[in-house]
Amino acid sequence: MDKLKQFIASILETRKVWLLEAKEGFFAMLEDNEGEPYIPLWESEALAENAAQGDWEGYTVTDMGFSELYHWLKELAADDIDIAVSPSSDGEITAISSNKFRGWLKPYDDHSYKEKDDEHGGDDDDFDYGEGWAQPWS
């Protein structure tokens, strides 16, 4: 729990987290022993840079502010992907659910991040209805 407290204290100070990005919009992921997926987040650029080796060699260290992270966590929760807090080099993770982390971040969201669709006054509907969802019932 100390690792989580340190992580939260650090990101509150900087108001951002650090990730490893393979290419634009595609981030490093890992799985636990049961195959559950996680997005690793680090509290500092240095820790993220240190993790960019092995399977993640060549990944770019990038930051994400609270507002964008808050929006993204909704998508991660819908996809059943949780957060791995500053995973260690030996594979040990401290996990937190995307929903719980999103709830914790809510008071810090300054609404500075907008998706392209947000500009058009659309509602907050991020559900993927798939092909043919508007087809008449037969």
pLDDT per residue over 51-74, tens digit each?
Answer: 999 889 999 999 999 889 998 999
Beta bridge partners of 95: 84
pLDDT at site 1:
60
pLDDT < 50 stretches in the chain: 119-138
DSSP 112: -
pLDDT at site 115:
65
Residue type, 59: Y
Say which CATH superfamily domain 2-108 falls into. Answer: Uncharacterised protein PF11572, DUF3234 (3.40.1350.90)
Residue with tokens 């992270």: 69
DSSP-H helix ranges across 15-82: 45-51, 66-78
Mean pLDDT, the chain, rounded, equals 82
Residues whose CB is less than 8 angstroms from the CB of residue 83 and which lie 6 or more positions away in sequence, other chains included: 38, 39, 40, 41, 73, 76, 95, 96, 97, 98, 101
